[in-house]
Amino acid sequence: MSSELAEFRQGWKIVLAAAFGVGVGLIGAPIFSLGTLLVPLSKAFGWSRAEVSLASLCLVFGTIVTALFVGRFVDRFGVRRIGIISLCLLAVAFVGMTQITANIYTFYLGLVLLSLAGCGTSPIIWTRGVATWFDKKRGLAFGMTLAGTGVAAMLMPPFVGSLIAQYDWRAGYLGLAAVTAVALIPVVLFFYERGEKHVDTSAPVLTGFTLQESLKTRHFWQLGVGNVLVTGATAALVVHFVALLTDAGITSAVAVGVAGIIGAAIIVGRLLTGYLVDRFHAPYVGAALVLLPCAGAILMRATLPDLTWVSVSAVTIGLAAGAEVDLVAFLVSRYFGLKSYGQIYAAQFILFELAVGFGPVIAGRLFDIEGSYDTALLVCAAAYVGAATAIGTLGKPPTLEKIGGGTAHGG
């Protein structure tokens, strides 16, 4: 059996469990259901589009303030315990969101508490666990893991939307709590990093940079710039996608259905990115995929409300959303190694979460000023060009075996 097949034979259950975890975690179901909740909450409480859009920033607060702590914890103790505990707390927090009132600050506070509860459900956890089981096919394994967010993007908007239509917005949050509880089952059964349950003499020695060393490299900051630009633009488009379509005269039911295309494209983007980075120069792959939604944003601006072209634009947005997290995780593992992967990826993930938070807010503010999303779409297109430039010029990764050693996690 080839080493590549052996990796999947040993690690497929880890990938499956991680995909469930990331799908219901903070960058999955909560983010992709936010757009479906945006209009109902605005109507129910009289909040403006920009006010509701601040939810995206509140939703990432917990990850931003805890990411480095989580990264240090998993580098030292492993991933299993924090992943399971955080998923349990996240399910409880979704139930708590049903208690918000017309005072918008209760909404913001609820989301901050939800983000703190779910701080251990970020890709820091899931990709770290998967990375210890894969090397030759790490890109594809990451893609399959992070495809869980694509499934969430495809299924959560219609699921939450149907609950809201049949009951109200509170039912949407209860549905999210139930889905999170179900996802706990495979995580409890299958998820742990190599050597975490017992001393594993076959576990690899983890080499690479420390966080302090990585901060001194141009690769870290160049990757960070690309990360922020592509993530901010994609988050803005995803969160405002349904509202953008309904403002153009498309019915809410049709808009939610078209939004589901983004989820399907995310799955394709995750798997395609993983497949390609295992075979070709990863920065070139990333730059090419990031340029696609630049065309999509311009196309959407020019063709709304033509559903055919809007659907094409949705595909390009989904491909970018599929590439972003997968690509950053893979590049961190290749350029900086696994020795301090949790902490280095956490630092990049802070930038990611800041972009997730501010991107929709900026788009919402531009809408409130102009009464349309025209300028916001152009800003997103320009951000994608900048991201492609930053990622595409990263150059070759260092030889990690020459960067100091480390020890495999053994318990």
Question: Which residue type occupies 70?
Answer: V
Mean pLDDT score, 147-171: 88
**Mean pLDDT for the chain overall:** 86
| Residue 208: strand pairing partners | 337
Q: What is the pLDDT of residue 195?
A: 64
Amino acid 220: pLDDT: 95
Task: Please give the residue that has the higher pLDDT: either 411 or 125.
Answer: 125
Residue 198 identity (one-letter amino acid): H
Name which residue leads in pLDDT, 36 or 197: 36
- What average pLDDT does range 255-282 have in this prediction? 86
Q: List beta partners, residue 337.
A: 208
pLDDT, residue 34, reads 81
Which range has the worst mean pLDDT, 65-69, 130-134, 311-315, 353-357?
Answer: 353-357
The region of weakest confidence among 3-12, 57-66, 97-106 is 3-12
Residue 86: band (very low, low, confident or very high) from pLDDT cuts 50, 70, 90: very high
pLDDT digits (tens, 9 = 90+) for 188-245: 999 988 766 544 445 455 678 888 999 999 999 999 999 999 999 998 998 888 888 8
pLDDT at 407: 37
pLDDT at 4: 66
Quick one: average pLDDT of 65-72?
87
139 vs 56 pLDDT, higher one: 139
Specify the pTM.
0.75
pLDDT for position 205 = 56
The predicted-structure confidence for 272-328, as pLDDT tens digits, reads as follows: 998 899 889 999 999 999 999 999 999 888 888 888 898 999 999 988 887 887 888
Q: Looking at residue 405, what is its pLDDT?
A: 44
Domains of the chain: 3-397 (1.20.1250.20)
Position 121 scores a pLDDT of 92
Rg of the Cα atoms in the chain: 20
Whether residue 63 has pLDDT greater than 60 = yes
For residues 381-388, give the mean pLDDT: 95
Mean pLDDT, residues 332-345 taken together: 88
Q: What is residue 332's predicted lDDT score, i.e. its pLDDT? A: 92
Q: Please tell me the predicted confidence (pLDDT) of residue 358.
A: 86
- Pick 41 or 5 by higher pLDDT: 41
Centre a 10 Å sphere on the Cβ of residue 137 and count the other Cβ atoms it contains.
21
**Each residue of 1-18: pLDDT tens digit?**
566 677 888 888 999 999
